[in-house]
Every structure is written in C-alpha cells, then in structure tokens.
Chains A and B, each alone.
Chain A
Amino acid sequence: MTFSEFLYMDGYYAFVWGSYALSFIVMLAGFFGPMRRRKQLLKQLGRKKKRGQRT
C-alpha cells in the first residue's frame, strides 16, 4: 500500500477523513476547554484573594 493509496481510502477519503478530522477537532476542544477554564478559575481565585487582603 502506498501513501497516496492510504489517503485515497478506496475513494471514500472524504467520508473517512471527514469523520476522523471532525472527531479529532471536537475531542481536542473537549479536552482543552476544561484546561483553559481551570487556568481562568485559578486566576479569578487569585484576584479574589488579593481583594480580600486589601480590605
């Protein structure tokens, strides 16, 4: 099997690679979303704490 044959997927390339690409993007977003949210939350907590010290 050559690499171009692999990419061609017997002519079903659009459907096969389409599903794989879609799943890849969605699952990656599903992982990095909560990761970014955690950073955000920790930042907010830090701010809250500083405010608490000032008063």
Chain B
Amino acid sequence: MFTKFYKWLIKLASLRNFYFFAGKLIPWFGWSTLILMVVGLYWGLVEAPTDYQQKDSYRIIFIHVPAAWMSLFIYMMMAFSAAASLIWKTKASEVFANSCAPIGAIFTFLALATGSLWGKPMWGTYWEWDARLTSELVLLFLYLGYIALQSAIEDKRSAARATAILAIVGVVNIPIIHYSVEWWFTLHQGATVAKFDKPSMDISMLIPLLIMATAFKLYFFTVVLMRSRNEILERESHSNWVTEEKERL
C-alpha cells in the first residue's frame, strides 16, 4: 500500500503529470466551492440568528475567521511544500509553494481588513498594535517577502532554494499568531472553535462558519492548482508535451 502511494507521489512530482492531474481536479474543486459558498452565505447572512451582544455586526465572522484560518493553513502548506523541494529537489513542490504565496497573501489581507472593519464598531478602533493583529501583519509581510524574493532571483532553482529557507524560518510566526491571544494581553478574543474544549459557539452559527471555512479551503485548492498549471506552462514552454497540449486545445 505504502509503496504504491510512494510511487504515485513520485509520478506526481513530474511537472507533466502534475499539470494533467491538476487539470482534472480543478473543475471539481471549483464547482464545489461555488455551491458551498452560496449555501454558506445564505446560512450565515439570513438563517443564522442575530447575536444578542454584537447584533448583526458579528456576521463578519463568516469571512473573517475562515480567512484567518486560511492564512495560517496556506502558510503551512507553502512551508511543507518548500521543505520538500529543499530535500528532494522536486520541481512540482517548488511550483506549488510559489503558487501558494499570492493566495496566502490575499487571505491574510482579507483577515486583516475584515478584522479592522469589525474592530471599528466593536472595539472603537480600526487598528491596534496588539499581539494578534501585529503577528498577523508580520504574516502578510512574510508572504510578500516570499513573492518579492522569488521574483528577484532569475534562476528558478536558486530562487526556490532561497524562498524555501524564508518560508521555513517564517513558520516560527504561526504558533505565535495562534497563541498570541493567550500569551499576551490583547483586544482580540480567545479561540472559540479551534481548542480542545467544546467550541463556545452556538451550533446555529458554527455550522455556517464551518461551511464557509470549507468553501474557502476549496477555493484555495482551485486557485492554487490553476496557478501551478500556469507556472508549469511557463517553465516547460520548450517541452514537447506543452506544444502537444497547446495543439489539443
């Protein structure tokens, strides 16, 4: 079983196989994103009850929290993928890590922006230099640094090595973001869902939140595969199979 999986992984590591495999997955991810997004939005904006304390302003949660979760999840995906390219020198993992960065930056930006729009009515300020907000801002800079470094180095292979080291070092920020609300005094509330105890959130609000989180995750997989395919086309523009693919379309 394991050797079979291992063989499959090695096959997938070739850019050509990765390109076609991703092409098969994209429509599935894309359409399920759309369906879950519509269900989650309806449920979150219409069906879910109004919060007794925050009234309807709490509805920002249905994008803020999934976006923040994605900002961390994508970083871990990017770092693991970058580590794989550092260890095994697989091109497919280089391409995947590069494709993660812009989407991660998008979600980090959205987590910060929607948090800011939520903070104004609830805390009375758009921005506060506290632990959670600052460490999330550092995450945005890590993503932007990754993108800048990657585009600054001409040779793709050496760019991949440099960015992989940046991505791996940056992992230290991930637990800091997660535990910042416990370690330091902060305006931001503590974890409500991702903790060992029972989530302190009513099921009528938790379900749409989890649906939106799944939709965001599927969105990420859709876009990361689209981006990977583009980068593969760019890198392999001289290979025969790309020309054949072009003729097929």
B120 and chain A: residue at smallest CB distance:
A15
B57-A12 in contact (CB<8A): yes
Which of the four size classes fits the interface of chain A? 20 to 34
- Mask: chain A, 13-48; 1 = CB below 8 Å from B; 0 = not: 001101110110011001100110110011011101
CB distance from A11 to the nearest CB of B (A): 8
A16-B226 in contact (CB<8A): no
B226 and chain A: residue at smallest CB distance:
A34
- At the interface, yes or no: B246 with Cβ under 8 Å from chain A? yes
Query: What total of A-B pairs shows CB separation below 8 Å?
Result: 85
A26-B106 in contact (CB<8A): yes
CB distance from B52 to the nearest CB of A (A): 11
Neighbour of B60 across the interface among A16, A38, A46, CB < 8 A: A16
- At the interface, yes or no: B91 with Cβ under 8 Å from chain A? no
B59-A9 in contact (CB<8A): yes
- At the interface, yes or no: A49 with Cβ under 8 Å from chain B? yes
A31 and chain B: residue at smallest CB distance:
B223
Neighbour of A27 across the interface among B59, B118, B121, B219, CB < 8 A: B219
A34-B56 in contact (CB<8A): no
CB distance from A44 to the nearest CB of B (A): 8
Q: How far is the CA of A31 from the CA of B37 in the complex (A)?
A: 14
A38-B56 in contact (CB<8A): no
B55-A38 in contact (CB<8A): no
With A34-B223, A34-B230, A45-B246: A23-B59 Cβ-Cβ less than 8 Å: no
Residues of A within 8 Å of B176, CB to CB, are none
Q: How far is the CA of A34 from the CA of B219 in the complex (A)?
A: 13
With A12-B56, A27-B106, A34-B223: A18-B246 Cβ-Cβ less than 8 Å: no
Q: How far is the CA of A22 from the CA of B64 in the complex (A)?
A: 11
Interface residues of B in 210-249 (CB under 8 A from A): 219, 222-223, 226-227, 229-230, 233-234, 237, 242-243, 246, 249
Report which B residues bind A (CB closer than 8 A).
45-46, 50, 55-57, 59-60, 63-64, 67, 102-103, 106, 109-110, 113-114, 117-118, 120-121, 219, 222-223, 226-227, 229-230, 233-234, 237, 242-243, 246, 249
Report which A residues bind B (CB closer than 8 A).
1, 6, 9-12, 15-16, 18-20, 22-23, 26-27, 30-31, 34-35, 37-38, 41-42, 44-46, 48-49
A-B contact pairs, 7 of them (CB 8 A): A10-B50, A23-B63, A23-B114, A41-B233, A42-B233, A44-B237, A45-B242
Q: With A9-B56, A38-B229, A48-B237 given, can you name 6 additional A-B contacts, CB distance below 8 Å?
A: A26-B110, A27-B106, A30-B103, A34-B230, A41-B233, A45-B237
